[in-house]
Amino acid sequence: MEAIARLVTPEIVGDILKQTQQFEAVSDVLLLQIAALGRQVSHEPGSVLYDAGDRADDIFVVVAGKVEYLVDPGVQASRPARILHPGDVFGWTALLAHKPSRLSKAVCIEPTEIVRLSGEKLLRALAVDSETRAEVMRRFACLIASDYPAPHATPAAASSGRETVAPDSHRINLTVYRLSQWLKSPRPYLMLLGFALFLGFWYLAVEVWKLPRFAEMPGLTVVIKEWLSKDPTYGLSIYTGEYYKHIGMSVWRIAQAFLLATILGVPFGLLLGWSRKFNHYAFPVFEVLRPIPVLAWVPLAIVMFVSTESAVIYLAFLASFFATALNAMLGVESIDESYLRAVYCLGANRWQAFRHVIVPGALPFVFTGLQISVGVAWFSLVAAEMVSGQYGLGYVINTSYSMVRYPTIIIGMITLGAVGYLTSALVRVIGDSLMQWRVRELAMKGD
């Protein structure tokens, strides 16, 4: 049951709001005006603040105590039930222009102090500063997106008066938007021009001009005819099963090496950047081993692993591991220390700071490192397959050279480049799905 509202000054309410993530960016003057709209209310254990289906008028800030937040079973949510603590903000549906019904139930589970703010009055107060309003609404949207994989609406609808689409549709729309911006830019056409110039020079240098340095190289038309032939002269084309067996074997080896490098390299790199003591022990050894070429490891790999297949995967793993770990470490070092000081001031321990600041902050560098890592893994794999592999694109290139099958060498090289590009693109897509905030930022910049 609700108790009598306490008489508190706007300054006190303002201090409370300033400590929340949603209002910390609001200026002190505007925050004081917003605080004047709020009222602090005491509630006994068991008090129902609102139930699913109730009209949404106010948003709530927990000042003291705990509130149990139960999402209606008919609403898809990542956390259908949770406990809200001091500093948590909830009741966001009050910010929507058409005032929908509540999607959840909020119950006090101990003596609780709540600040209530009228959603309509809050929006009018924020309207005087469009930039601040946009920032506050963005933070509410981030709050909702983390809890509702498919929410009925987001605060962004408050300015438009309509419901927004589900996040899956939003991601599709964002992808389509970025694709349209890319097609409108000169980049795809410059890319096509670059390929045309490269292929044109190859054709002219080998088959028309017959330049001395290119005399022994297979021409463009020879390679294409061999690649597309149903009865290839050298036994390898898109119509032969052996061609796809080589591709499949290389992809499978890369998948194992890359997965192992990611599982070991990302935590190792994060730890290098996070712990100075660990860095002092491990980084000198890391830096001594990193420049050693993959081919130098071949004899040791053969001695260490009885299986030739394990040796090949190990050699591909090595270079990938170093690239992954180094970029993860640089990602940690790029994080502004003020973020760490801020979370420590809010009472976070080292594990919480690592989980909520270090890992998200390093993600852009981590996925950049993974894109480099998968490319380096292909480079290392080819060298390993040339030395000790059976089947695989590196094996094709090496044996074709030994048997003077030059068109097959080019086919293997082009296939390697295409498959390597696709694996890098796959890593980039996964990174974009995990860093939607970065995708939105790039989309707004038109990148």
At 293-322, the pLDDT tens digits run 888 898 888 888 877 888 899 999 998 999
Burial of 216 (0-12, 13-18, 19+ CB in 10 A): exposed
Domains of the chain: which residue ranges? Answer: 2-164, 218-445
Enumerate residues 6+ apart whose C-beta is below 8 A from 151. Answer: 75, 103, 144, 145, 164, 166, 167
The answer to whether residues 331 and 271 touch, using CB atoms and an 8 Å cutoff, is no
Q: CA-CA distance, 51 to 45, in Å (whole number)? A: 16
Q: What is residue 404's DSSP assignment?
A: T
DSSP-derived 3-state class of residue 47: coil
Enumerate residues 6+ apart whose C-beta is below 8 A from 350. Answer: none
Q: What CATH number does the domain located at 218-445 have? A: 1.10.3720.10
What is the structure's pLDDT at 410?
94
Residue type (1 letter), 88: D
Q: Per the structure block, which two tokens stand in for 51? A: 């139930």
- pLDDT-flagged residues of the chain (< 70): 1-8, 74-78, 97-100, 142-179, 181, 388-389, 435-447
Burial of 211 (0-12, 13-18, 19+ CB in 10 A): exposed
Radius of gyration in angstroms for the set of CA atoms belonging to the chain, rounded to a whole number = 30
Q: Give the residues across from 115 on adjacent strands.
A: 40, 61
Residue 75 to residues 52, 82, 184, Cα–Cα distance (Å)? 10, 15, 39
Q: Per the structure block, which two tokens stand in for 57? A: 């008028």
pTM above 0.85, yes or no: no
Q: Say how many C-beta atoms besides its own lie within 10 A of residue 93's C-beta.
A: 26
What is the structure's pLDDT at 436?
58
Query: Interhelix angle for 393-402 vs 359-388, to 10°?
Result: 30
- Buried/exposed 158-188: b ≥16 CB within 10 Å, e otherwise: beeeeebeebeeebeebeeebeeeeeeeeee
Q: pLDDT tens digits for 45-99? A: 889 999 888 888 888 988 888 998 888 776 666 677 888 888 888 888 787 755 5
Q: CA-CA distance, 94 to 228, in Å (whole number)? A: 63
3-state helix, strand, coil in the chain (%, to 5): 65, 10, 25
H helices present in 161-275, as ranges: 167-184, 187-203, 220-227, 241-274
DSSP-derived 3-state class of residue 152: coil
Burial of 302 (0-12, 13-18, 19+ CB in 10 A): middle
Q: Residue 6: what are its φ and ψ, rounded to 5°?
A: -85, 145
Q: Per the structure block, which two tokens stand in for 264? A: 């070991």
Residue type (1 letter), 319: A
Alpha-carbon dihedral sign for residues 271, 274, 276, 279: positive
The answer to whether domain 2-164 and domain 218-445 are alike in fold is: no
DSSP-derived 3-state class of residue 180: helix
Residue type (1 letter), 155: P
Q: pLDDT tens digits for 103-120? A: 888 999 999 888 888 888
Q: Residue 83: what are its φ and ψ, rounded to 5°?
A: -105, 130
Q: What CATH number does the domain located at 2-164 have? A: 2.60.120.10
What is the structure's pLDDT at 148?
60
